Amino acid sequence: MYLSVLMMFSIGSVSAQKSVLEKSEEQVKLFNAQQRFFAGDFQGALNIYNDLLKTNANNAGIMFHMAECYFGMNQFAQSLDNAKKAKSIDPKADDNISLLLGKLYFMDGNIDDALNEFTAFKTAVTDAKKIKESDVDVFISQVKNAKDLMSRPVDVKIMNAGDAINSEYDDKNPSITADGKTLIITSRRPGKSSALDIEGDKKYFEDVYISRWDSIKKAWSEVELLPGAINTEGHDACTSISPDGKTIFLYKNDMEGESRGGDIYYSKISSSGKWGSAISIGKPINTTFFEGGACVSPDGNLLYFVSERPGGFGHADIYVSKRNANKEWDLPVNLGPEVNTAEDEGGIFLAPDGKTLFLSSNGVNSMGGYDIFKTVNENGKWTKPVNLGYPINSLDNDMSLTLSVDAQIGYFSSDRKGGKGDLDIYKVDLSNYPVLEKDMKHKVVDSLAILKGTVFNATNGTAMEAEVVIYDVNGAKIGSTMSSAGSGDYFITVLSNKTYQVKINSEGYKPIDEKIEVKSAKEGATILVKHYLLYKN
């Protein structure tokens, strides 16, 4: 469960100490331990507390502080043991002991005891400011959500993605191409650099890895470093891959370079299959504040991303920017308070239907830590995000869902119990849980399909840029895109088992107006490839 390391319940704990340490030398040690704790040196503080405990064996205050240190070091079993001992000796050892125990019980899956401790903390504390700063109301809401969602699990099958994908290190941010053939992840295993982030969390730097689907073995290949120039000696994290698999969006945080606050970058794949150096997406998307988590709509005309810029509704909010006539990104627009909360939103993925946005949030509607939600753009307005439910979401952090084009399979990252490392990639079978449907219960519409191909100049065979517009049989416009000026490639998603009218236009060339039928594939993603030749007028 996502919890702040420097917890609010630590503040003021020196003045709340109930036992008296008579020796001035011990008082100095206690002060030094607190200073180390607030500096983030949890092991150093713990060493001092252990030394103090030798002559103060039943000092509940010291045991509570040790529990804090273990918590800061992510050693939660030891933290729970010390916190329980402290409370058994003196229930009032510290004003915040029930808050800490509530969090630890919650993380351990002991929901009822967690709720009791959170309630006890809120009852005992009379300072409204302290109540607010403690986030106890958020935790109480999350506990109640957990009890409710776990009582009515959704019909899915979840499995660890396995040794080919996961390692003993952090493996996260799965991104899958719309055709389901390429999986991109971010991992903190030894990769491009074997150095540790000494100034950060002392883990290996992030790198981007790739896996390819083996249609014969029906399995993913073992991940390998992404070929090309994306990975550097520092942090390189993939936030998404475009539906056509030709652009990767990245998050980079270079403390000494231009991306000091954390910025969005992108990289494109070359004809040789290698990825180019990361390029900053620039203004107005990037600012001096944190930006990350970018993904693009299937037609390439909308960019969704996460930012901590001023003017939002919480810590990190979701924004959208439209591509203008000059192929530049317009000023971003906040998705609004219906989607963004007072907490953090992130881990975004726009489904191939172009209107369903999946996101992760640790707000009051989660069941502990980050949960995965969905919101739908209906008539230009975003619906209130809906929790995808248990067991997709757990008491731990569950983030960054990505879907196959038929929405039958999804992948997400989680640090739930039973994984191979801190964060693992998990696969979820959604065949009985239609997450793209409004009620997520009854299948109404046909699955999505991919329509793609290349537009060529009929005179010399070169690739060319052209507008590709799709209409239904009644003449209603379904969507549009532009074929790439460099490759001539176009890519768009439509519903399967339907007939469409395709119109292709480029100034100076005869237009194409063709009827096509998109039949659903018997297995896997439905992909229809159509190449077109344009003749001059």
Q: What is the pLDDT of residues 485-512, one digit of tens each?
A: 888 999 998 989 999 999 999 999 999 9
CA 469 to chain centre: 32
Residue with tokens 């990361």: 278
Six token digits for residue 69: 């240190």
Distance (Å, rounded) from C-alpha 399 to C-alpha 428? 13
Q: What are phi and psi of 265, to 5 degrees?
A: -125, 170
The CATH class, in words, for 448-534 is mainly beta
Distance (Å, rounded) from C-alpha 259 to C-alpha 252? 7
Six token digits for residue 199: 């100034």
DSSP 266: E
Q: How many residues in the chain?
A: 537
Distance (Å, rounded) from C-alpha 233 to C-alpha 276? 16
pLDDT of residue 13: 44
pLDDT, tens digit, for every residue of 247-280? 999 998 765 555 556 899 999 998 888 999 999 9
Give, for 279, the enclosing helix (H) or strand (E): strand 279-280
Cα dist from 401 to 407, 425, 537, whole Å: 11, 10, 47
Six token digits for residue 104: 């630890």
* Per-residue model confidence as pLDDT tens for the chain (537 residues): 434 333 333 434 443 444 444 557 888 999 999 999 999 999 999 999 999 999 888 999 999 999 999 999 989 999 999 999 999 999 998 999 999 999 999 999 999 999 999 999 999 998 889 998 999 999 999 999 999 999 999 999 999 999 999 999 999 999 998 888 899 999 999 988 777 887 777 889 999 999 999 989 989 999 999 999 999 888 899 999 988 888 999 998 765 555 556 899 999 998 888 999 999 999 999 999 999 889 999 888 899 999 999 999 988 999 999 998 888 999 999 999 999 988 889 999 999 888 999 999 998 899 988 999 999 999 889 999 999 999 999 999 999 999 988 889 999 999 998 999 889 999 999 999 999 988 888 776 678 889 999 999 999 999 999 999 999 999 999 888 889 888 899 999 898 999 999 999 999 999 999 999 999 887 777 899 999 999 998
Residue-wise burial string across 22-57, b where 16 or more C-beta atoms lie within 10 A, e elsewhere:
eeeebeebbeebbebbeeebbeebbebbeebbeebe
Q: What is the CATH number of domain 157-429?
A: 2.120.10.30
**Other CB atoms within 10 A of residue 531 CB:** 12
Give, for 158, the enclosing helix (H) or strand (E): strand 157-160
Give, for 28, the enclosing helix (H) or strand (E): helix 24-38
Number of H helices, E strands in the chain: 8, 30
**Other CB atoms within 10 A of residue 454 CB:** 17
In this chain, the answer to whether the domains covering 8-150 and 157-429 adopt an identical fold is no
Domain ranges of the chain: 8-150, 157-429, 448-534
Q: What is the CATH number of domain 8-150?
A: 1.25.40.10
Distance (Å, rounded) from C-alpha 285 to C-alpha 303? 9
pTM, two decimals, is 0.85
Distance (Å, rounded) from C-alpha 302 to C-alpha 245? 16
DSSP 10: G
